Amino acid sequence: EVQLLESGGGLVQPGGSLRLSCAASGFTFSNFAMSWVRQAPGRGLEWISSIGESGRTTKYTDSVKGRFTISRDNSKDTLYLQMNSLRADDTAVYHCALGGIFGHYDYWGQGALVTVSS
């Protein structure tokens, strides 16, 4: 059974940093691109970033370029999202998803809530 489990969310002040992790199981992690998608409270879904199978290829939405970094450790079956210079409008539930830039996400994690507030 495919499972994606996010961790690392929490409350952070504006300008602060946070690193999210997504532990994957039930499939060969290194064979699949992965992505992060977020959902602000009461709002719709927003694609944030995708990473290729090896980790060499990364893509970001414009609003997080230069602030967020996606990475993966295939030896640990884990996906990461390093978030720096956080802003209030980054407040959202962050989901990791199995799939890449073409938007076909077969599996999603339940999400990690990130709240940016002073």
Q: Residues in the site for other proteins, rule: CB under 8 A?
A: 37, 44-47, 50, 59, 61-62, 95, 101-106, 108-111
* Residue 32 vs 108, nearer CB to other proteins: 108
* Residue 27 vs 47, nearer CB to other proteins: 47
53, two tokens: 């199978």
* Residue 14 vs 26, nearer CB to other proteins: 26
Buried-exposed string 67-90: b where 16+ CB fall within 10 A, e elsewhere:
ebbbebeeeebbbbbebeebeeeb
Least distance in Å: CB of 101 to other proteins?
6
Q: CA 63, 114, 92, 7 torsion: positive or negative?
A: positive
User: Do residues 13 and 26 make contact, with C-beta atoms less than 8 angstroms apart?
Assistant: no
Least distance in Å: CB of 16 to other proteins?
25
Least distance in Å: CB of 29 to other proteins?
18
